[in-house]
């Protein structure tokens, strides 16, 4: 890991765990019959989950307010950045906490190329870019994907690096009316640390992600370092 001290490793790993996904490719596997009490029968498009910019959304997570803004990068309509700001917490002061670099593939799949953790001054690079969402996610098959991950401790490309690997499974769990529930399970290893993260997203076409529930567990070797659960709900959307 970047830090030689286990105590210094913990904040870095926790920050990286907040928005890791996985995948350099998306292979399909049958979904187990017992994965959902009310299994979905249809499919959902990547564009319904990750809508192209520009847009701005406001979420509520406990006492915190989360604002996400999406904008195009340069002249390419297939590349954009999602910036996340948080407020209420005095340490954050409503400032920028995360930048997510998105790429849209020729088939409509959505990829993640870089994740900048601004407060920690850390950068995660996925090589090759990982699949956040296949072009179409069907109810009868899950999407299993992998990617190598490089973590560096600053924006400087020559900064010290730590390398890891991640396996991601994405599946369509259930559908009710216009809403679809997507489960995203990640297992990532960075040196001696393992991150297990599950995110359940409720998605409505035309609005995108309207609710997120996250459960994250971090281990150092066989030692459980932490487990956190959070829930964010969309409260406002401002098309630009």
Domain assignment present for residue 48? The answer is yes
Q: What is the reported pLDDT for 53? A: 93
Domain assignment present for residue 149? The answer is yes
Q: Which parts of the chain sit beneath pLDDT 70?
A: 1-25, 29-39, 88-94, 195, 239-240
Domain assignment present for residue 91? The answer is yes
- CATH number of the domain that 15 lies in? 2.40.360
The DSSP code sequence of 12-49 is HHHHHHTS----SS-EEEEPPGGG-SS---SEEEHHHH
Domain assignment present for residue 127? The answer is yes
Domain assignment present for residue 208? The answer is yes
Domain limits at 140?
6-239
Domain assignment present for residue 1? The answer is no
Q: How many other C-beta atoms are found inside a 10 Å radius of the C-beta of residue 91?
A: 7
> Cα–Cα distance between 188 and 149 in angstroms, integer?
9
84 touches 61 (CB < 8 A): no
pTM of the full predicted structure? 0.77
Q: What is the reported pLDDT for 122? A: 76
Domain count, the chain: 1
Q: What φ, ψ does residue 217 adopt, rounded to 5°?
A: -125, 135
> Cα–Cα distance between 116 and 160 in angstroms, integer?
15
Torsion of CA 35, 41, 43, 44, to 10 degrees: -70
Domain assignment present for residue 61? The answer is yes
């Amino acid at each position: 890991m970047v830090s030689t001290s286990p105590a210094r490793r913990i904040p870095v790993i926790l920050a990286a765990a907040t928005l890791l996904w996985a995948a350099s490719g998306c292979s399909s596997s049958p979904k187990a019959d017992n994965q959902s009490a009310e299994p979905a029968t249809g499919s959902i498009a990547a564009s319904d989950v990750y809508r192209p910019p520009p847009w701005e959304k406001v979420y509520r997570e406990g006492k915190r307010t989360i604002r996400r803004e999406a904008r195009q990068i340069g002249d390419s309509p297939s590349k954009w950045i999602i910036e996340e700001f948080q407020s209420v917490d005095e340490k954050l002061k409503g400032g920028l906490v995360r930048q997510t670099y998105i790429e849209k593939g020729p088939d409509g799949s959505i990829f993640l190329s870089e994740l900048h953790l601004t407060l920690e001054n850390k950068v995660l690079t996925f090589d090759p870019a990982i699949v956040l969402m296949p072009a179409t996610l069907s109810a009868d098959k899950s999407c299993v994907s992998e990617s190598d991950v490089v973590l560096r401790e600053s924006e400087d490309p020559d900064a010290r690096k730590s390398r890891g690997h991640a396996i991601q499974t994405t599946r369509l769990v259930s559908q009710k009316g216009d809403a679809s529930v997507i489960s995203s399970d990640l297992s990532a290893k960075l040196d001696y640390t393992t991150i297990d993260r599950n995110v359940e997203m409720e998605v409505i076409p035309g609005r995108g992600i309207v609710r997120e529930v996250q459960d994250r567990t971090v281990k150092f070797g066989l030692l459980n370092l932490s487990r956190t659960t959070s829930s964010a709900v969309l409260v406002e959307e401002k098309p630009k």
